Amino acid sequence: MHVTGEDTIAAIATGLGGGVAIIRISGPDALAIGNRVWKGRKLLSVQVARQLLLGAVAKQDSEIDDCLAVYMPGPRSYTAEDVVELQCHGGTFVARAVLAAVLSEGARHAAPGEFTKRAYLNGRLDLTQAEAVADVISAQSEMALHTAHRQLQGHLRQRVAGIDGELREMLAEIEVRMDFVDEDLDWTAEDQLHQALQNAERLVRELLLYRQEGEVLREGIRLVLAGAPNAGKSSLLNLLLGHDRAIVTDVPGTTRDTLEEYAHIRGIPVRLIDTAGLRETEDVVERAGIDRSHDSIRGAQLLIWVIDLTAPLDGQQLDPALVAGRTVIAAANKCDLHTGELPALDVPIVAISAKNGDGIEALRDAVEAAVWAHPHDQEPDVAVSVRHAAELDRALLALVDARAVLQDAAFELVAVNLRAALEAMGAITGTTARADILDNIFGKFCIGK
Closest distance to ligand GTP from the beta carbon of 230 (Å): 4
Maximum CA pair distance of the chain?
89
Pairing, β 20-26 against β 83-89: antiparallel
DSSP state of 348: -
238 part of the interface to Mg ion, by CB under 5 A: no
230 binds, among Mg ion, ligand GTP, none (CB under 5 to 8 A by kind): ligand GTP
Interatomic CA distance for residues 435 and 287, integer angstroms: 51
CA distances from 441 to 10, 101, 169, 433 (A): 20, 30, 30, 11
Closer to ligand GTP by Cβ: residue 235 or 429? 235
334 part of the interface to ligand GTP, by CB under 6 A: yes
Interatomic CA distance for residues 33 and 284, integer angstroms: 63
Closer to ligand GTP by Cβ: residue 316 or 385? 316
Among 79, 234, 333, 385, binds Mg ion (CB under 5 A): 234
* Site for ligand GTP, residues 222 to 251, rule: CB under 6 A: 229-235, 248-250
Sheet holding 327-333, edge to edge: 259-265, 268-274, 221-227, 302-308, 327-333, 349-351
77 part of the interface to Mg ion, by CB under 5 A: no
Torsion from C-alpha of 320, 322, 326, 331, nearest 10 degrees: -70
In sequence order, what DSSP letters do the residues of 103-139 get, joined into one string? HHTT-EEPPTTHHHHHHHHTTSS-HHHHHHHHHHHH-
Kindly state the number of chain residues that form the binding site for ligand GTP, as judged by CB under 6 A: 23
In the complex, which residue's CB is closest to ligand GTP? 277
The dihedral sign for the CA sequence 160, 435, 383, 144 = positive
Closest distance to ligand GTP from the beta carbon of 254 (Å): 4
Closer to Mg ion by Cβ: residue 116 or 293? 293
377 binds, among Mg ion, ligand GTP, none (CB under 5 to 8 A by kind): none
351 part of the interface to ligand GTP, by CB under 6 A: no
Helix (H, G, I), strand (E, B) or coil at 213: helix
| Residue 361: CB atoms within 10 Å | 12
Pairing, β 302-308 against β 327-333: parallel
Among 48, 253, 413, 437, binds ligand GTP (CB under 6 A): 253
Closest distance to ligand GTP from the beta carbon of 144 (Å): 29
Closest distance to Mg ion from the beta carbon of 236 (Å): 9
Q: Which stretch binds ligand GTP (CB under 6 A): 52-60, 132-140, 258-266, 352-360?
A: 352-360
Closest distance to Mg ion from the beta carbon of 421 (Å): 53
106 part of the interface to ligand GTP, by CB under 6 A: no
DSSP state of 49: T
Closer to Mg ion by Cβ: residue 147 or 255? 255
Interatomic CA distance for residues 74 and 29, integer angstroms: 12
255 part of the interface to Mg ion, by CB under 5 A: yes
8 part of the interface to Mg ion, by CB under 5 A: no
Binding site for ligand GTP (CB under 6 A): 229-235, 248-250, 252-255, 276-277, 333-334, 336-337, 353-355
Binding site for Mg ion (CB under 5 A): 233-234, 254-255
